[in-house]
Amino acid sequence: MRLEQGGAVPRLRHRPLGAEPSRAKGQLLAALLGCALAAAVWSGIGWGRARAQAPILRPEDVATPTPTQAVILLPTPTPMAGTPAVQQFMEPQGRTQGYTVQPGDTLWTAALEMGVDLEDAPCLVAPDFRPQEPLVIGDRLEPLPVGWRCHRVAAGETLAQVAAQYGVDVRPIRGVAWNRLPGAAADDSPLPPDRYVRVPGRPAPASSGFMAFMLDQPLAVSPYMAYAVGGPGGTAAAAVPETWPYGSGRFTWPVFGWLSQGYREDHPALDIAAPTGAFVTAADRGVVIRAGWNEQGYGNFVVIDHHIDYVTLYSHLADVLVEEGEVVAQGQIIGTVGSTGNSTGAHLHFEIRDFGRRANPLELLMR
C-alpha cells in the first residue's frame, strides 16, 4: 500500500449555482440600450447562466489537474577539487573486513554490518549452516571475495550442475578450501542437499568504466546529478502519526551532491560526494535499526528499516544524529557527510536493500 500525494481530486471549473447576483441588472441594461454590444453581453450572460445551471457535467467543465511542477533549481555542483578528484570520493576496493559475532546477532544483522546480501550470508558461516540456527557469539565471519556467490544446493544437484549455473569451471569451486568438497566424489554425483557452496566469480568488470563515463559528462547537464528536493515535499494524503514506522516506497535523495560511484557488482551502492558536514536525510520514513560505529569499513553509519521490505543504509558519516529505535520521517536529518571508516574523501555511501539484497538505488530514486 503506497501513500499517494494529495491534490489529485479534479477541480470543477464551472461556477456554483446562483453565483450571478448581477444577472438581473445586466438584463435591464440590455433592454434599455438595445444595442449590438448589449446583445453580445446578453448572450454571454445567457451562456454563463446555462453553464451554471447545467445538471450534467461535461468533460470541458472539469479542469484537468495540472501536475504540480516542482521547480527544481539545480545549482552547478562544485566538483570538490577539480573533476578528476571526484574519483577519490569512494571506498578503496575490498571495503568489507571480517566480523566477530556479537550477542544478539542474527544472520540478518551480521549481513547488514558486513555489507553483504542476505542470500550470500550463509557462506560467511559454514557449508552446513542452517539459517534458523543461532550464530555462535565470538565466531569470526569472513566476507566472500568480490564477485563470488553463495549457492544453496538443491536436492539431487551435482557439482557440475552448480558450476554450469554460474558459468564457471568445476575446478575453482573444488579449489575453495571452505567448501570442504570430498576430492574423491565425482562431479556428477549429487551433493548433500541444503549445504552451501562458495562459487568463485569470474573476474570483476573493470571499475574504471563507470568513472570514465562519469568524468566525460558536462557537470551541469549530467543526468547523474544527485539532488534532494527539500525532502518529500507536497502534502501527504493524510497526516502520518509520529510513530508510523512504514515507509512509502518512494525514496528521496539522501544528500545533495555529486554521484562519484554508481552501482556495480563490486559496489552495490551509490557514492555521493558532498562537502563534510552536509546534512544527510532519511530517504523514506522508517525505524532506525542501527546507528553508530561499524568496524567493517562503513565507519559511522545509520540503517533504517522501512518495514516494507526495504532497508536503507547511510555510511561514512561524520555525525550520527539519530538513535536506534527512533522513528524518522522522510527527509529528516539523520547525520552529516563525513569520511569515516574505509573512505578516501567526504562522501555518502548509500545502499537500498530489497528483501535483503542490495538493489540499485538509482533505479529506485528515479522512479
For binding to Zn ion (CB under 5 A), which residues are involved? 91, 269, 271, 349
Instruction: Report how far Cα 100 is from the mean position of its chain's Cα atoms.
Output: 28
Measured from the CB atom, the residue of 266 and 319 that comes closer to Zn ion is 266
- Minimum gap (Å) between residue 91 Cβ and Zn ion: 5
Position with the least CB separation from Zn ion: 349
Query: Do the beta carbons of residue 232 and residue 252 sit within 8 Å?
Result: yes
Q: What whole-number distance in Å separates Cα of residue 303 and Cα of residue 292?
A: 9
- Minimum gap (Å) between residue 232 Cβ and Zn ion: 24
Q: What whole-number distance in Å separates Cα of residue 146 and Cα of residue 93?
A: 9
Query: Do the beta carbons of residue 112 and residue 82 sit within 8 Å?
Result: no
Interior/surface letters 59-89, b for 16+ CB within 10 angstroms, e for the rest: eeeeeeeeeeeeeeeeeebebbeeeeebbbb
Measured from the CB atom, the residue of 26 and 335 that comes closer to Zn ion is 335
E strands in the chain? 99-100, 140-141, 149-152, 196-199, 225-226, 257-261, 270-273, 279-281, 286-294, 299-305, 310-320, 327-328, 333-337, 347-354, 357-359
Nearest to 121 by CA among 324, 319, 358, 283: 358
- Minimum gap (Å) between residue 67 Cβ and Zn ion: 34
Nearest to 294 by CA among 87, 92, 95: 95
- Minimum gap (Å) between residue 302 Cβ and Zn ion: 15
**Secondary structure class of 311 (helix, strand, coil):** strand
Phi and psi for 54 in degrees, rounded to 5? -60, 125
Alpha helices per DSSP H over the chain: 23-33, 36-53, 107-114, 159-166, 170-174, 208-216, 361-365
Take residue 300 and report the three cell numbers written for it. Answer: 559511522
Q: What whole-number distance in Å separates Cα of residue 314 and Cα of residue 328?
A: 14
Q: What whole-number distance in Å separates Cα of residue 295 and Cα of residue 305?
A: 21
- Minimum gap (Å) between residue 345 Cβ and Zn ion: 11
- Minimum gap (Å) between residue 294 Cβ and Zn ion: 13
- Minimum gap (Å) between residue 291 Cβ and Zn ion: 19
- Minimum gap (Å) between residue 147 Cβ and Zn ion: 16
Residues 6 or more apart whose CB falls under 8 angstroms from that of 310 comprise: 247, 249, 251, 284, 352, 353, 354
Measured from the CB atom, the residue of 201 and 262 that comes closer to Zn ion is 262
Measured from the CB atom, the residue of 95 and 306 that comes closer to Zn ion is 95
Measured from the CB atom, the residue of 306 and 349 that comes closer to Zn ion is 349
Measured from the CB atom, the residue of 181 and 280 that comes closer to Zn ion is 280
Measured from the CB atom, the residue of 227 and 314 that comes closer to Zn ion is 314
Measured from the CB atom, the residue of 272 and 282 that comes closer to Zn ion is 272
Measured from the CB atom, the residue of 179 and 339 that comes closer to Zn ion is 339
Measured from the CB atom, the residue of 306 and 347 that comes closer to Zn ion is 347
- Minimum gap (Å) between residue 4 Cβ and Zn ion: 33
DSSP 269: S
- Minimum gap (Å) between residue 352 Cβ and Zn ion: 13
